[in-house]
Chains A and B, each alone.
Chain A
Amino acid sequence: MMDQTVNPTPFYPLGHVGDIIAFRAAVAGWLNATVPPDWRQNLTGASEETYLKFQNWWFDQLKSVGLATPHWPKSWGGAGLPLSHQVVMIEELARIGGPMAEMFVVSLFHMPATLFANGSPAQCDRYLTGVRDRGEIWCQGFSEPGAGSDLSALRTRAERKGDVYVVNGQKVWSSFGMHADFCLLLARTNPQAPKKNAGISYFILDMRAAGVTVRPIRQITGRAEFTEIFLDNVEIPVENLIGAENAGWQIAQSTLAAERGLLIFEHAERMTHALRRDYQALTEQHGKPLEDAGLRREFTKRYAELTAVRLLIKQMIEQGEHGQDSGLLAAVIKLYWAQLLQNYTSLMARMRGLDAQRAMPLSLGTGHNSGDYLSDFLQSYGWTIAGGTNEIMRTLIAERILGLPR
């Protein structure tokens, strides 16, 4: 499947920019012609090797019609697609239940957001081109064993020696670090800075440099998507410093605000379709719609919340389109979504009864609707812990939105 050469298709969505109906039809047509109907089965019980090949294949397919980097400006070889068209693209992808470019999230969102705002022209040229033309995979090296929610406590040390920084330390929770070509790395350059976050710098780390060791971490789902990265006297050339020395903390904020709600939007759209499929499957299974009143009402409540969060996401995307800062709304959505996802996947696992308790072969890259309901639930901690735990988000909302004292 993934070794096939690209089938030439008559669909070219980028030829219809400006005509949203024709664009939608072209995206849908292209997806139907391109996404293998059995891709989920093929990735169930598959090896990491097979999954990597599949992700690369999917990226190439997207690239062949200019949809790998639709949101990048034209000056960097993107499609410069208006947000409204990106929304349509995501809606159609969710409708057909196509694959996510999961391994490319940092490559497509976090790295470019960081470099567009803070990178030198040479850095932009080298690394944006690398993703666009060669599908280079990036990971993120922010968290450490001693610096999770308190990221500014990070201790990985970078010391300037001539033309290089010598880096020592350990990073953790880096998704797909084992496949990554490069890493967005935060390290401490000034341990004497009066405030912890003032002594941090931002680097581009070549994952193939001497002294870099990557070890996968197996998660509660059984899958190993995360990695630890050990840095032992790794030399990073000074031209790989992003922005000024010790300005890393501010730059990291642009990384974290990278995806303007589009990722959550994609997940919420996928849940919308999953909810309908789940409803149909459960109805068929029981002969009539969800007999148990408690579970039925809980299901309906989750639908209300899904409706609400989709409305909020659309509101955030609209704000982004008008250039308004939607950082605080993004925090509300992150917390709302994380809890909804956990509650919904937990409900589905409970509704499936003993059936969902069987050990199932790992399903790679199928998001939160893999068909393994318990695993989907376990996977939901990825949203309640990563990218700001629910507790960190609550503190942020209470202090920054409600104005409660620190």
Chain B
Amino acid sequence: MTAETEDLAALREAIRDVLSTQADRAAVRKFINSTAAMDASLWAQGAELGWFGLNIPEDDGGLGLGVSALLVLFEELGRAVAPLPVLGTVLAAEAIVHGGNAAQRAGFLPRLAAGQRPAVFALPGLNANLLLSEHHILSGDISLVIDAATAQLAILPASGVGGDPVFCLLDLSQANVAVEPQKMADLTRQAATITVSDLRIDPSAILPVDAAAMANFAGLLLSADALGAAQGVFELTVDYMKTREQFGKPIGSFQALKHRAAEHHIALVGARALLAHTATLWETRHPDAAFHTALCKAHICEVALTVATDAVQLHGGIGFTWEHECHLFLKRIYLNNQLFGTTATFYDTAFDGLAESFSRAA
């Protein structure tokens, strides 16, 4: 593993800089206490800096900086528990890059990259009840679509003729589409239920989507977000342990507590190495990239949840309050763990990939 390249380090610095003012403690708190579905000024700032198009090819109006750049963004957003519904847009763009025709690429990608068209993407699951008839009429609903409260465009899974899964690209502002925002336990992100009544889908708007690849890609971004959030809450915790005094000493001097902090530190160091390595595998299109990605989602989200869970405990009573930000991190990491597949399913995906890589090498 090599150290982060200068370009990525500069990008990280720039993003952290923006977030330190636009998504500092006060700004996040203000968003949570508001009724707004998203922090419009943070979105505008992100759009101006090209955050939504980091991984969209330059020819399609993005910055073409690759997956590594995107991971830096997600890690920093997680670290700040920033209320920015970027995941949906990035996933929709990824689906269009791989499955869209020339007109769709030209029509959507530059606007997604510019943040002019917030979008969402969802996978089939228990929450998805959309049917596409043989005449291409879409009906039904899908709940808990993350980032959908503010989205204008969606790529949604439906059950096609014979039950085969298909993915439909649709504009959410049409008359036969209703978007009902759903608040989540994670106060920094929102979802929505999307209900569609007899909407005709043009055959060209049925996209070929590799669902497993999209689950993996989403998992990669969520691992970065979880790692950043875990790092953020861990830094808060260590600082607190240095200043909070009981029995006349900082609580960080107590061995039972400092040993737990050491365990969290090494787990995070390992998780960071795994993520950086996986990013390199993506950049080089290595055949092991896919299963390492599943490994990241399972392992990093698991590590992050352990750290965040203990962060509340290490803060004691103050960590149990609504006022303290510990719970923001904990809830965000919890949601990341459940989005696009659980830890167990990603471990299983990773295991299958590992087995395959063994037989490839044999």
Which residues of A are found within 8 Å of B265, using beta-carbon distances?
332, 397-398, 401-402
Whether B262 lies near A304 (C-beta < 8 A) is no
A278 to chain B, nearest CB (A): 11
Which residues of A are found within 8 Å of B351, using beta-carbon distances?
289-290, 296-297, 299-300
Whether A297 lies near B348 (C-beta < 8 A) is yes
B258 contact from A296, A303, A398, Cβ within 8 A: A398
Which residues of B are found within 8 Å of A404, using beta-carbon distances?
238, 241-242, 250, 252-253, 258, 261
CA distance A303 to B346 in the complex (A): 13
Which residues of B are found within 8 Å of A162, using beta-carbon distances?
none
B105 to chain A, nearest CB (A): 35
A274-303 residues at the B interface, CB under 8 angstroms:
276, 279-280, 283, 289-290, 293, 296-297, 299-301, 303
A300 contact from B242, B252, B273, B350, Cβ within 8 A: B350
Interface pick from B91-99, B159-167, B292-300:
B292-300
A102-158 residues at the B interface, CB under 8 angstroms:
none
Q: B36 an interface residue at 8 Å Cβ cutoff?
A: no
The prevalent SS among residues of B at the interface is: helix
**Contact size class for A?**
35 or more
Whether B292 lies near A307 (C-beta < 8 A) is yes
Q: What are the interface flags for B246-269 relative to A under an 8 Å C-beta threshold, 1 for contact and 0 otherwise?
A: 000110110100110111011001
Which residues of A are found within 8 Å of B266, using beta-carbon distances?
332, 335-336, 397
B196 to chain A, nearest CB (A): 36
Whether B273 lies near A405 (C-beta < 8 A) is no
Whether B259 lies near A293 (C-beta < 8 A) is no
CA distance A311 to B281 in the complex (A): 13
B242 contact from A279, A395, A405, Cβ within 8 A: A405
Q: What are the interface flags for A315-343 relative to B under an 8 Å C-beta threshold, 1 for contact and 0 otherwise?
A: 10010000000000000100110000000
Whether A406 lies near B348 (C-beta < 8 A) is no
Q: B355 an interface residue at 8 Å Cβ cutoff?
A: yes
CA distance A276 to B354 in the complex (A): 10
B295 contact from A303, A401, A402, A405, Cβ within 8 A: A303
B52-102 residues at the A interface, CB under 8 angstroms:
none
Q: Can you list 13 A-B contacts with CB-CB less than 8 angstroms, sorted by A residue number?
A: A280-B358, A300-B347, A300-B348, A304-B298, A304-B299, A308-B274, A332-B265, A335-B266, A391-B259, A394-B259, A397-B262, A398-B259, A402-B262
Whether A311 lies near B261 (C-beta < 8 A) is no
CA distance A200 to B90 in the complex (A): 62
User: Are A300 and B261 also in contact (CB < 8 A) when A311-B1, A395-B255 are?
Assistant: no
CA distance A276 to B360 in the complex (A): 12
Q: A239 an interface residue at 8 Å Cβ cutoff?
A: no
Q: B277 an interface residue at 8 Å Cβ cutoff?
A: yes
Interface size on B, residues (CB 8 A): 38
Determine the residue in chain B with the shortest Cβ distance to A298: B347
Whether B347 lies near A336 (C-beta < 8 A) is no
B248 to chain A, nearest CB (A): 12
B1-46 residues at the A interface, CB under 8 angstroms:
1-2
Which residues of B are found within 8 Å of A403, using beta-carbon distances?
238, 242
CA distance A29 to B347 in the complex (A): 38
Which residues of A are found within 8 Å of B185, using beta-carbon distances?
none
B262 contact from A280, A289, A335, Cβ within 8 A: A335
Question: Given known contacts A311-B276, A312-B270, A391-B259, what 17 new A-B pairs fall within 8 Å (CB)?
Answer: A276-B361, A279-B355, A296-B348, A296-B351, A297-B298, A297-B344, A301-B347, A304-B274, A304-B298, A307-B277, A307-B295, A308-B271, A398-B262, A398-B265, A404-B252, A405-B250, A405-B252
B216-265 residues at the A interface, CB under 8 angstroms:
238, 241-242, 249-250, 252-253, 255, 258-259, 261-263, 265
Whether B242 lies near A332 (C-beta < 8 A) is no
B94 to chain A, nearest CB (A): 24
B159 to chain A, nearest CB (A): 28
Whether A312 lies near B269 (C-beta < 8 A) is yes
Which residues of A are found within 8 Å of B298, using beta-carbon distances?
297, 300-301, 304
A402 contact from B238, B270, B274, B358, Cβ within 8 A: B238
CA distance A315 to B273 in the complex (A): 9
Q: A393 an interface residue at 8 Å Cβ cutoff?
A: yes
CA distance A256 to B354 in the complex (A): 36
CA distance A318 to B358 in the complex (A): 28
CA distance A189 to B331 in the complex (A): 58
For the complex of A and B, list the 10 residue pairs with the smallest distance between their C-beta atoms, beginning with the closest. Answer: A308-B270, A398-B258, A394-B262, A404-B252, A311-B273, A304-B299, A397-B262, A394-B259, A297-B347, A405-B253
Which residues of B are found within 8 Å of A276, using beta-carbon distances?
358, 361
CA distance A114 to B19 in the complex (A): 49
Determine the residue in chain A with the shortest Cβ distance to B352: A289
Q: A232 an interface residue at 8 Å Cβ cutoff?
A: no
Q: A159 an interface residue at 8 Å Cβ cutoff?
A: no
Determine the residue in chain A with the shortest Cβ distance to B302: A301
CA distance A353 to B358 in the complex (A): 24
Q: A352 an interface residue at 8 Å Cβ cutoff?
A: no
Which residues of A are found within 8 Å of B259, using beta-carbon distances?
391, 394-395, 398
B273 contact from A289, A308, A391, Cβ within 8 A: A308
Which residues of A are found within 8 Å of B295, using beta-carbon distances?
300, 303-304, 307
CA distance A132 to B8 in the complex (A): 47
Q: What are the interface flags for A252-263 relative to B under an 8 Å C-beta threshold, 1 for contact and 0 otherwise?
A: 000000000000
Which residues of B are found within 8 Å of A266, using beta-carbon distances?
none
Which residues of A are found within 8 Å of B253, using beta-carbon distances?
404-406
Determine the residue in chain B with the shortest Cβ distance to A397: B262
Q: A399 an interface residue at 8 Å Cβ cutoff?
A: yes
Q: A314 an interface residue at 8 Å Cβ cutoff?
A: yes
Which residues of A are found within 8 Å of B255, using beta-carbon distances?
395
Q: A28 an interface residue at 8 Å Cβ cutoff?
A: no
